Structure formats: structure tokens, C-alpha cells
């Protein structure tokens, strides 16, 4: 990913928190020279290695997993809030053009298929627990008929990706004067019907407080 220095985010804690907050990612591979992508939820194991490990699964009928050869890296893309930024929000004496602000994290690693049924079930239970935790009446796999769950598990292929490299790009107007950044934040907050614009404004404000 092309990352100008002013937009680079290298803090592992920030990158981990970003993946946790935006777990629905894009799994990208290349098969016979053709890009292939699947949109799937990931669970990040932060304690596994320096850069963590990603846990996920594909439908067994999805042929993408058959390309996991134990050697070739895949790319997992996690996209956060993004929004159009109008130059009309900047000070009038500053020449400018429209742009797009956003935050994104890329994770690279070699996936390995989980064949062990005990690990497979544990991985899916962790996925369920991750997204049911805040519900008033959490659903659980244990609440379902064992034969039904067994059949569903046979229909998926679980895998793990030890993360070999993490890249973070937070493009939030860091390369323009503070007055224009603040004008952009005010403009984005004025887009009250667009959650993405409001979220980008909050990200920008957080960076302002940190600087």
C-alpha cells in the first residue's frame, strides 16, 4: 500500500484496536494471475506473535481456500470510516482540491487450514462469543442441537493467518495547515446525516489532541 509518511500509522496497539473495531475484512488472494476476494469477519488473536494472528473461515464451497499452499501470503484489508472532504471548508486564501479522508489497515500472512475438529469448533465459538458478548441474551453454539452444529461446521473451512506484516494508513489531512484541518472537521460535523463523515471528524479530532 502506498503510504506517505504523514499518513503512516505504525503503533501496534492502534492497529490492533482498529482491526478489533472493524473486523469485517476483505481477504485477497491471486489465483492464476487473477485477484480473488471474499468479505468475511475476522477475530484477532493479539497474543499470538508480535503482530497477532487472524482467525477466519470460508464456506467449503468457496474455492478460494484451495489456493492456500502454505507458502504464499494473502492480504486482509480492514476499512474504517471514510468521507469526502470539500476544499470549500478550508481558508479561502489556500489553493486546494477535493480529497477523501479515511483509515485502513492491511495485514499480510500465510494462511493455514485448521483440520482438527476440536480447534475448528473452538475457533467458531470464539467468533460467536466475540459478536454476541454485548447482547442482552447471547446466542451460543451450545444452545443448539449437536447434530445441526456438526453439519454446519462441516460446511466451512477454518483457517489461521499469523500476521507477518501490518500496515496502517490514516489519511486525515495531516499534510495541510491546522486551520484547514479544523475547517474540514467542522465541515464534516456539518454532514449530520452521514455517520462516516462524523466518524472521520472524530478521528481527526483525536489526532489533534494527540499532537
Q: What size, in residues, is the chain?
A: 211
DSSP state of 160: E
Instruction: Give every residue of the chain whose pLDDT is below 50, as ranges.
Output: none
Asked if 79 contacts 104 with a C-beta cutoff of 8 angstroms, the reply is: yes
Asked if 171 contacts 103 with a C-beta cutoff of 8 angstroms, the reply is: yes
Per-residue pLDDT, 58: 98
Give 204's contacts (C-beta < 8 A, 6+ positions apart): 101, 172, 173, 181, 184, 185, 188
What sign does the dihedral 125-129-135-138 (CA atoms) show?
positive
Residues 184, 167: Cα–Cα separation, whole Å: 25
* Architecture of domain 5-175 in this structure: Roll (2.30)
Per-residue pLDDT, 3: 98
For the chain, the maximum distance between any two Cα atoms, rounded to a whole number of angstroms, is: 69
Per-residue pLDDT, 11: 95
Give 158: exposed, middle or buried? Use CB within 10 Å, 0-12, 13-18, 19+: buried
DSSP state of 89: G
Domain-by-domain residue ranges, the chain? Answer: 5-175
Per-residue pLDDT, 52: 94
Per-residue pLDDT, 207: 87
Residues 167, 9: Cα–Cα separation, whole Å: 7
Amino acid at each position: 500500500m502506498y503510504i506517505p509518511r504523514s499518513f503512516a500509522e505504525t503503533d501496534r496497539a492502534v492497529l490492533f484496536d482498529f482491526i478489533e473495531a472493524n473486523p469485517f475484512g476483505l481477504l485477497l488472494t491471486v489465483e492464476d494471475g487473477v485477484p480473488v476476494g471474499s468479505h468475511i469477519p475476522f477475530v484477532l488473536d493479539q497474543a499470538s506473535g508480535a503482530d497477532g494472528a487472524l482467525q477466519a473461515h470460508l464456506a467449503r464451497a468457496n474455492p478460494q481456500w484451495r489456493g492456500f499452499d502454505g507458502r504464499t501470503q494473502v492480504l486482509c484489508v480492514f476499512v474504517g470510516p471514510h468521507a469526502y472532504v470539500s476544499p470549500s471548508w478550508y481558508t479561502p486564501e489556500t489553493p486546494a482540491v477535493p480529497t477523501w479522508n479515511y483509515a485502513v489497515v492491511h495485514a499480510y500472512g500465510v494462511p493455514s487450514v485448521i483440520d482438527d475438529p476440536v480447534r475448528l469448533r473452538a475457533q467458531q465459538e470464539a467468533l460467536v462469543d466475540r459478536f454476541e458478548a454485548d447482547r442482552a441474551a447471547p446466542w451460543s453454539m451450545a444452545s443448539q442441537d449437536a447434530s445441526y452444529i456438526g453439519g454446519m461446521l462441516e460446511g466451512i473451512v477454518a483457517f489461521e493467518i499469523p500476521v507477518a506484516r501490518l500496515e496502517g494508513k490514516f489519511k486525515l489531512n495531516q499534510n495541510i495547515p491546522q486551520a484547514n484541518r479544523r475547517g474540514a472537521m467542522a465541515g464534516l460535523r456539518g454532514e449530520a446525516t452521514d455517520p462516516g463523515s462524523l466518524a472521520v471528524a472524530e478521528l481527526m479530532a483525536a489526532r489533534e489532541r494527540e499532537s
